[in-house]
Amino acid sequence: MAEERDPSCNPVDLVPQDACNPGSMYGVERETGNDHISETGEEETTHNESEYSNFDIVKATQYGVLERCQELVESGYDVNRRDNENVTLLHWAAINNRREIVKYYIRKGAVVDAIGGELLSTPLHWATRQGHLGMVVLLIQYGADPNIRDGEGCSCIHLAAQFGHTAIVAYLLARGANVNMRDKNGMTPLMWSAYRVTSVDPTRLLLTFGASVSTGDRLHGNTALHWAVQAKNSVAASVLINNGGACIDTPNAQGFSVYSLVMKRKTQWLDKKLLDKLQESQKLQRNILFRFFRDKKLRYWSMMLSPVLIFYIVGLIFQLNLLYLIKLALFVALYVLVYGASLLLFDDRLMTVMPMAVYLATKFWFYVTWVIYIHDSVGLWFSSMFMLTSLILWYNFVKAWRGDPGVITADQTQKYKTIMELAEQNGFDPAWFCSTCLVRRPLRSKHCAVCNRCVAKFDHHCPWVGNCIGALNLRYFVGYLLMLSVMCAFTLKGCMEYWLVNCGVSFPHVGLWTGLGMAGTCEPWVVWVASNAMLHVGWVTTLLACQIYQIVYLAMTTNERMNCYRYRHFQTGKKGEIKSPFNRGMWSNLVDLLNVSCLGLVQPSQKDWRVMFTVEQATAQEPVKAADRTDEEQPLVAGASSGGDGPVEEAFGFV
């Protein structure tokens, strides 16, 4: 199996000289020093008249000298005449992205789907191989057929997938191309992408469009995952398994499963986490007991409930009337027990589940402690204030946890329309389009890798509330932090009142350490609860202060503050100087956060960040809301001044 050959279009044949770089034997001899990009995205070359007056029509086409091409055609040159390599003028114009020349030749009768070159390709094939999205759009608008197969049996969507041209793949699919279209050997676009492209796209994009992960090619019976393993493409393999749910046990025509192939090469290329996941999947099918302990619901609730039990056991050990050395041994035993249970019952969701589980467990025991220990020591009024604070905290927590953070949504028709509009207006930029959600990305938005969705005015993903924090729930998150710190302070004050009434501990009189020793001897559980309250007061208050500083003083989100040097709209032009264009002043920023108005004296901004695409639009005095805007009125791209989200770690804006 390791010696299997590529079913078609081997690495050499796949990039033929007649559809490759301008420096190939077919003579696209560019002088790049004179090249520049026009406003339409077309490459133009400037020449004086003496330079191009002797150009033949092929060379003039390659260099983009429209005047010389017009002169020769008007003199009687047939635009469908082929050179000695059986290549038409339209092929040369397409491969060099000479759009005005293409328009001229087609007006003069050039055959749009002319077959030529060694691979019997059309001009659309050539443009697709080179990744010229604008040229692909133009040729299709003039009637070019993207479903024509070249001499290797590949249509345009296969070529776009092979060369990793995600924007072209998206455009062809939006125009109705079959995402599971097969070439002459049964290879689908997903198979080609998994085999040839080492970035997440277009593999991830094809999965978003519903590409099949179970289909095998006709020659070898390989699925897309087989091809990713054959190529040792760990990125594609990870995307197929984690995003596409590809099966590792499907055999190919030779009877080899993906798992068997991986095990032969596991030390060479595969990410350890992915390898562990593959091995776990294999065990799940063989061991009934293993399947029981790997049940996702069982593991989720084990992670959610374990902090409640651990909190109680730790407090119980503190309360035991035993030697400190024995207590230490019990803590070590508890650690070993928890560690062993974690290997059996916890999974890779631990870092996203555990923070909220710890928070809820801590609050639960705060309530229990208040009712059993503290209530009688503080009186009804103080307990009422504690409960009122808790109710407000719960309100903000639920809003931050279950509320919409500002998710950018669109139905399938809108997504396809967006793709075609962006492609036709040169708007396919990583800052403007998300290949996972298939939506136009507004200014200040970001794709959350945890929630797998784009969020307007993205601040961060908060594991303490299990949700993204964005445009619509940021104020509830700040309210949650504020009331949590107040509740912890109430709990700490209640514990001190308990010690004073029941243990006779007065810290101003006996000092901190003596008082803590007396309190620990009197009631260790309350000391344990108080220490947790103190810890939470510290980090929650610090986080709250950071949030207020960013929002009110800097007018930035957490994401923007961490990545401000990547976003052009924060750069003032002075070296090292960063400034938010969204800053309306500290008072107005605070009003915007609270989203409150009072008799016209204060008025929050009514911006809907789900439809803000440019800095100019976002900073306008009276921006249009989403409800007031039609699809035709919405700008397609963020514009050069905004820069969108700037450079991103992954293609087409997935972070």
Q: How far apart are CA 640 and CA 647, in angstroms?
A: 13
Length of the chain as a residue count: 655
What b/e readout covers 409-423, taking b as 16+ CB neighbours within 10 angstroms?
eeeeeebbebbebbb
Q: How far apart are CA 515 and CA 237, in angstroms?
A: 59
Beta partners for 407? 455
Rounded to the nearest 10 degrees, how much is the dihedral formed by the CA atoms of 379, 313, 307, 366?
0
How far apart are the two ends of the chain, measured CA to CA in Å? 35
Name the DSSP class of 625. P
Q: How far apart are CA 368 and CA 65, in angstroms?
A: 82
- Amino acid symbol at 264: K
Two tokens, residue 152: 């290797």
Give the distance, in angstroms, between the CA of residue 400 and the centroid of all CA atoms in the same chain.
21
Q: Exactly one of 462, 468, 488, 495 is catalytic; name it.
A: 462
Q: Are 200 and 235 in contact (CB under 8 A)?
A: yes
Q: Which of 614, 619, 610, 611 is nearest to 640 (CA)?
A: 614
**Burial degree of 402 (CB within 10 A; 0-12, 13-18, 19+):** exposed
Is residue 546 part of the annotated active site? The answer reads no
The CA angle 419-565-407, to the nearest 5 degrees, is 40
434 three-class SS: strand
The helix or strand, by DSSP H or E, that contains position 454, with its residue range, turns out to be strand 453-455
Q: Which of 184, 176, 120 is nearest to 158 (CA)?
A: 184
Beta partners for 446? 455
A 10 A CB-CB count for 47 gives 17
Q: Are 509 and 571 in contact (CB under 8 A)?
A: no
Backbone φ/ψ region at 27: left (φ over 0), alpha (ψ -120 to 50), beta: left
Two tokens, residue 142: 């003039």
Phi and psi at 77, nearest 5°, equal: -70, 135
A 10 A CB-CB count for 493 gives 16
Q: Are 250 and 24 in contact (CB under 8 A)?
A: no
Q: How far apart are CA 62 and CA 64, in angstroms?
A: 6
* Residues assigned a catalytic role: 462
